């Protein structure tokens, strides 16, 4: 197992190198650069803009800037500086945001799996019942609604229908104004939970709907296997047949999905964080894209790529842990 993990981490190195080259090259296809916005401002002369490009190295070929960026990472662990905020790119992307982003992402993950797996099992056991048809309808509905649209619907519902403003509550962000800089207290924690639930619902709806459908399909396939029919023929209780034999095998492919869902949580919250005004990594990444802050963009892309590969590795390890038939030698 140790040699397998070491090999996987070694494979990550050339993969990340290829991803970085392709990503850095694609970024250069964007029209203009960081100074484009200044060119539209008549207060900035051509000399000033030329000095800015020389200062940030934007007047050099992209492969020269890429090599300088890579050597900075290898020799100093330096991912470059944000052209917009004049601070290290990792700080511009993660400082003050990563903890909230991780909290929202893992909260969404727990919310999704805790609800989706039991619902998928119930739907499979009660195939073609009214409950199954109802869950199937809402499952397809959840898969069809874009996250940003669901966020707008929730905002409209809370503001126009519930009128939360009359209750002294706000919508969007992580806290109401009076709690932003206040020390933690029970009231602030409750206010945080009030602002957190729309995020969990919006980001987790599509994932939960897809997971319900996947769990249902896997369990239905497993219930038709010979070993399940044999267990029933032996007279085992139906609960033992389903949960000890069928579910344990049907859930294996979902464990792999669990690991690979890590970057998807960040991507799923991309527009949600913007619409709901959450100080997250996705929002900082979006701002960097708008301003063509290339080193911040590259830091974000490499972060998401690394998450995908680590998540894939964790999925394989969890699968080997729950299924004794799988071994990585």
The model's pLDDT over 142-186, given as tens digits with 9 standing for 90+, comes to 888 888 888 888 888 888 888 877 667 777 778 887 887 888 888
pLDDT recorded at residue 17? 92
The answer, yes or no, to whether residue 131 has pLDDT greater than 80, is yes
Closest CA to 314 of 293, 328, 301, 329: 328
Euclidean distance between CA atoms 253 and 318, whole angstroms: 11
Torsion region of 96: left, alpha or beta (phi above 0 gives left; psi -120 to 50 gives alpha): left
pLDDT recorded at residue 268? 60
pLDDT recorded at residue 22? 92
Please report, rounded to a whole number, the percentage of residues in the chain having pLDDT higher than 90.
7
The answer, yes or no, to whether residue 252 has pLDDT greater than 70, is yes
Question: 108, 203 in Cβ contact below 8 A?
Answer: yes
pLDDT recorded at residue 14? 92
pLDDT recorded at residue 324? 64
Higher-confidence position of 306 and 255: 306
Burial class for 119, CB neighbours closer than 10 Å (0-12, 13-18, 19+): buried
Cβ neighbors of 231 (< 8 A, separation 6 or more) are 240, 241, 245
The answer, yes or no, to whether residue 84 has pLDDT greater than 80, is no
The answer, yes or no, to whether residue 192 has pLDDT greater than 90, is no
Span 43-67, mean pLDDT? 76
Dihedral of alpha carbons 23, 29, 31, 33, sign: positive
Euclidean distance between CA atoms 19 and 66, whole angstroms: 12
Higher-confidence position of 280 and 301: 301
Higher-confidence position of 15 and 29: 15
pLDDT recorded at residue 15? 92
Burial class for 256, CB neighbours closer than 10 Å (0-12, 13-18, 19+): middle
Cβ neighbors of 141 (< 8 A, separation 6 or more) are 209
pLDDT recorded at residue 41? 67
Mean pLDDT estimate for the chain: 82
Q: Helices 252-268 and 281-291: crossing angle, nearest 10°?
A: 50
The residues facing 81 across adjacent strands are 88
The answer, yes or no, to whether residue 19 has pLDDT greater than 90, is yes
pLDDT recorded at residue 18? 93
The answer, yes or no, to whether residue 298 has pLDDT greater than 80, is yes
Closest CA to 220 of 253, 250, 252: 250
Task: Tell me, rounded to whole angstroms, the distance of Cα 312 from its chain centroid.
Answer: 14
Q: What is the pTM of this model?
A: 0.75
pLDDT recorded at residue 119? 92
pLDDT recorded at residue 213? 86
Euclidean distance between CA atoms 168 and 150, whole angstroms: 23
Domains of the chain listed by start with CATH number? 1-96+292-329 (no CATH), 98-279 (1.10.3720.10)
pLDDT recorded at residue 121? 92
In the structure encoding, which two tokens stand for residue 13, read together?
Answer: 């190195």
Span 31-51, mean pLDDT? 72
- Expressed in angstroms, the distance from the first to the final Cα of the chain is 6
pLDDT bin (cut points 50, 70, 90) of residue 198 is confident
Rounded alpha-carbon distances, angstroms, from residue 153 to 55, 85, 104, 143, 262: 45, 34, 20, 16, 26
Span 67-96, mean pLDDT? 83
User: Half-sphere exposure of 134 toward its Cβ, with a 13 Å CA cutoff?
Assistant: 6
pLDDT recorded at residue 323? 66
Euclidean distance between CA atoms 256 and 258, whole angstroms: 5
Euclidean distance between CA atoms 169 and 176, whole angstroms: 7
């Amino acid at each position: 197992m140790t040699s397998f993990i070491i090999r996987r981490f070694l494979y990550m190195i050339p993969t990340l190198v290829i991803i970085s080259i392709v990503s850095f090259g694609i970024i250069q296809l964007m029209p203009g650069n960081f100074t484009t916005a200044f060119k539209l401002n008549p207060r900035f002369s051509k000399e000033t803009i030329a000095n800015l490009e020389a200062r940030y190295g934007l007047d050099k070929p992209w492969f020269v800037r890429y090599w300088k960026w890579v050597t900075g990472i290898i020799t100093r662990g330096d991912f470059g500086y944000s052209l917009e905020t004049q601070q290290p790119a990792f700080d511009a992307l993660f400082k003050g945001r990563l903890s909230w982003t991780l909290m929202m992402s893992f909260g969404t993950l727990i919310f999704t799996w805790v609800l989706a797996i039991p619902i998928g099992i119930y739907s499979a056991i009660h195939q073609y019942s009214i409950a199954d048809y109802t869950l199937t309808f809402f499952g397809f509905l959840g898969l069809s609604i874009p996250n940003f649209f669901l966020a707008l619907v929730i905002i409209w519902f809370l503001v126009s229908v519930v009128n939360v403003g009359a209750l002294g509550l706000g919508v969007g962000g992580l806290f109401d104004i009076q709690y932003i800089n206040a020390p933690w207290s029970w009231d602030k924690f409750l206010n945080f939970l009030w602002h957190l639930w729309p995020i969990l619902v919006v980001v987790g709806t599509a994932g939960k709907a897809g997971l319900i459908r996947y769990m249902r399909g896997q369990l239905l396939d497993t219930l038709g296997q010979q070993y399940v029919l044999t267990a029933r023929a032996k007279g085992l209780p139906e609960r033992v047949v389903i949960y000890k034999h069928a579910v344990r095998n049907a859930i294996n492919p979902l464990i792999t999905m669990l690991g690979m869902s890590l970057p998807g949580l960040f991507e799923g919250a991309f527009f949600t964080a913007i619409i709901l005004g959450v100080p997250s990594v996705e929002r900082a990444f979006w701002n960097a894209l708008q301003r063509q802050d290339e080193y911040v963009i590259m830091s974000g892309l490499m972060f998401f790529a690394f998450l995908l590969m680590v998540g894939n590795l964790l999925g394989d390890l969890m699968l080997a842990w729950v299924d004794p038939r799988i071994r990585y030698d």
